[in-house]
């Protein structure tokens, strides 16, 4: 059977004329023998149909499905296995389907932790005399679990599926973790980035924390004042000013808060954006990170509605009829001016726009001191570099320092002479090179 369909499955079942009472005595042994026979035969599908009918017994059948998008396949397979244990079901046999043996897969249930679960197959279950057949069927876009029972036990089948759904919702193992969502969900391995790694203007850190981590922690309190339990921050500035790094630092400093990093390639699809916020709601409190939102957020008239469907879906999720609760959205853009007015000028979608400007002299000097923790830039040269690098972003300053070290050629096996490496000429050349790459006019500090 190439396309496994439950209705066809039921239509093909042959009636069982065997007395169920007789089966109760020797059925277990016969069942095991039948499975061994089917595993080595060429008639596994039709044989399994007969076996399932014999296991359940005669009479009308009831079946109750649960179907999820494939990004929740791991969660659904895990929830099924967990419910079996919690509810006391005994697995009598596990069968394959589509002429294949049962398929087990190792799935990630937390960063660094994996478990083996049944990913495709049929389980014959018993519990206090009740018999239930459960199938697990993946395909390209969907993942289905179905409970099949006698009509007289339909309530049990429905209760079983509700139990699986309850485990998915209550024990969702993505909750509280940092994940990336592409075509599937993947736990992120966090870097050790900290606020000390950032060069920010005074007050920027406090603003970001207040509207993200602190907001989610105070959401219930704030809602009493009529403040909706959702928030949007738009981080804007030149490339290299620290927008992405801020998102990484926030993930490191938000214990218990789920973070979902959207994949840029998916943003062009309205259904993908809908899925992102469905997941965010499922595992709230959560932060959704949308990098380079200008990919879909350009002014609709200027772009001739090129990404109109995606933008409309995003606006709906941010401020639509169905409210996202305890969800923060952080979006980044390098070019604020090209965004649609509905994004950049409309509070309750993006309530706060945070501008990341190239750092001033004091911030540049502090950042160079930070870089000097790993490479001993001489003190006088730090001040020169801070003066020379006016208008540069932290990323550009870092590149200037790195290029000076890379292009130095100390004698082999000799320790670098840092005074010579970070000479005035070396600094001037490095800064000038970075400026030319960025299209900036060179400026020299006074010697």
The predicted pLDDT at position 343 comes to 87
Q: What is the pLDDT of residues 381-438, one digit of tens each?
A: 999 999 999 999 999 999 999 999 888 876 555 677 888 889 999 999 999 999 987 6
Asked if domains 186-356 and 361-437 share a fold, the reply is no
Both tokens of residue 1? Answer: 């059977």
pLDDT value at 37 more than 70: no
Cα(first)–Cα(last) distance of the chain, in Å? 82
Structure letter (DSSP) for residue 298: B
Q: How many CB atoms lie within 10 A of CB 251?
A: 20
CA–CA dist 421, 415 (Å, integer)? 11
Looking at per-residue confidence, does 312 or 444 come out higher? 312
Mean pLDDT, all residues of the chain: 84
Q: Among candidates 65, 79, 69, 83, which has minimal Cα distance to 143? A: 69
Given the candidates 3.20.20.10, 2.40.50.140, 3.40.50.720, 3.40.50.300, the CATH classification of the domain at 186-356 is 3.40.50.300
Instruction: Read off the pLDDT of each residue in 247-259 and give the average, rounded to a whole number.
Output: 95
Q: What percent of the chain has pLDDT over 90?
A: 59
The predicted pLDDT at position 412 comes to 54
Looking at per-residue confidence, does 190 or 169 come out higher? 169
Question: 361-437 maps to which CATH number?
Answer: 1.10.8
The predicted pLDDT at position 156 comes to 94
What confidence category does residue 41 fall into, taking pLDDT thresholds of 50, 70 and 90?
A: very low
The predicted pLDDT at position 34 comes to 35
pLDDT value at 22 more than 90: no
pLDDT value at 442 more than 50: no
Q: What is the pLDDT of residues 59-84, one digit of tens each?
A: 888 889 999 999 999 999 999 999 99
The predicted pLDDT at position 303 comes to 52
Q: Of 110-114, 123-127, 136-140, 385-389, where does mean pLDDT reach its minimum? A: 136-140
Where do the domains of the chain lie? 6-170, 186-356, 361-437
pLDDT value at 13 more than 60: no
Q: What is the pLDDT of residues 321-332, one digit of tens each?
A: 567 899 999 999
pLDDT value at 28 more than 60: no
The predicted pLDDT at position 321 comes to 58
Give 339: exposed, middle or buried? Use CB within 10 Å, 0-12, 13-18, 19+: buried
The predicted pLDDT at position 295 comes to 86
The predicted pLDDT at position 10 comes to 43
Instruction: Read off the pLDDT of each residue in 215-244 and give the average, rounded to a whole number.
Output: 94
pLDDT value at 48 more than 60: yes
Give 338: exposed, middle or buried? Use CB within 10 Å, 0-12, 13-18, 19+: middle
Instruction: Read off the pLDDT of each residue in 352-379 and give the average, rounded to a whole number.
Output: 92
Both tokens of residue 174? Answer: 């993505």
The predicted pLDDT at position 19 comes to 36
pLDDT value at 21 more than 60: no
Identify the bridge partners of residue 8 per DSSP, sorted by sequence position. none
The predicted pLDDT at position 30 comes to 38
Looking at per-residue confidence, does 346 or 214 come out higher? 214
The predicted pLDDT at position 23 comes to 33
Instruction: Read off the pLDDT of each residue in 183-195 and give the average, rounded to a whole number.
Output: 91
- What Cα–Cα distance (Å) separates residue 355 from each residue in 117, 241, 344, 374? 47, 10, 12, 29
List Cβ neighbours of 417 (8 Å cut-off, separation of 6 or more). Answer: 410
The predicted pLDDT at position 330 comes to 97
- What Cα–Cα distance (Å) separates residue 14 from each residue in 147, 269, 340, 378? 19, 46, 62, 86
Q: What percent of the chain has pLDDT over 70?
A: 83
Looking at per-residue confidence, does 142 or 440 come out higher? 142
């Amino acid at each position: 059977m190439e396309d496994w369909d439950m209705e066809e499955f039921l239509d093909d079942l042959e009636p069982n004329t065997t007395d169920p009472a007789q089966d109760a005595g020797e059925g277990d042994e016969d069942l095991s023998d039948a499975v061994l026979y089917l595993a080595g035969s060429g008639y596994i599908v039709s044989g399994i149909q007969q076996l399932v009918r014999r296991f359940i017994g005669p009479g009308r059948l009831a079946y109750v499905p649960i179907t999820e998008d494939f990004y929740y396949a791991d969660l659904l397979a895990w929830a099924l296995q967990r419910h079996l244990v919690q509810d006391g079901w005994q697995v009598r046999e596990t069968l394959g389907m589509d002429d294949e043996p049962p398929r087990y897969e190792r799935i990630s249930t937390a960063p660094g932790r994996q478990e083996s679960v049944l990913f495709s197959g049929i389980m014959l279950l018993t519990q206090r005399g009740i018999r239930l057949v459960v199938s697990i069927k993946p395909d390209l876009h969907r993942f289905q679990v179905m409970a099949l029972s006698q009509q007289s036990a339909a309530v049990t089948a429905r209760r079983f599926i509700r139990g699986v759904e309850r485990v998915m919702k209550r024990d969702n193992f993505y909750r509280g973790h940092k994940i990336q969502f592409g075509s599937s969900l993947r736990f992120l391995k966090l870097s050790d980035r900290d606020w000390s790694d950032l060069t920010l203007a005074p007050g920027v850190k406090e603003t970001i924390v207040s509207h993200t981590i602190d907001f989610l922690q105070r959401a219930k309190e704030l809602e009493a004042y009529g403040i909706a339990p959702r928030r949007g921050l738009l981080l804007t500035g030149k490339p290299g000013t620290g927008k992405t790094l801020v998102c990484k630092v926030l993930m490191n400093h938000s214990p218990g808060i789920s973070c979902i990093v959207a994949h840029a390639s998916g943003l062009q699809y309205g259904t993908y954006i809908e899925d992102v916020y469905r997941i965010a709601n499922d595992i709230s409190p959560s932060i959704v990170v949308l990098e380079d939102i200008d990919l879909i957020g350009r002014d609709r008239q200027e772009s001739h509605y090129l990404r109109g469907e995606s933008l409309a879906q995003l606006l709906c999720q941010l401020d639509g009829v169905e409210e996202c609760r305890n969800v923060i959205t952080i979006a980044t853009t390098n070019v604020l001016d090209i965004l649609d007015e509905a994004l950049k000028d409309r509070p309750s979608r993006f309530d706060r726009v945070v501008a990341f400007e190239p750092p001033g002299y004091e911030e540049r000097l502090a950042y160079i001191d930070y870089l000097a923790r790993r490479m001993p830039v001489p003190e006088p040269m730090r001040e020169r570099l801070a003066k020379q690098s006016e208008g540069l972003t932290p990323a550009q300053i870092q590149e200037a320092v790195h290029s000076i070290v890379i292009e130095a050629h100390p004698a082999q096996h000799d320790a670098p002479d840092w005074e010579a490496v970070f000479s005035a000429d070396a600094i001037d050349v490095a800064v000038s090179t970075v400026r030319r790459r960025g299209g900036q006019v060179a400026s020299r500090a006074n010697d």
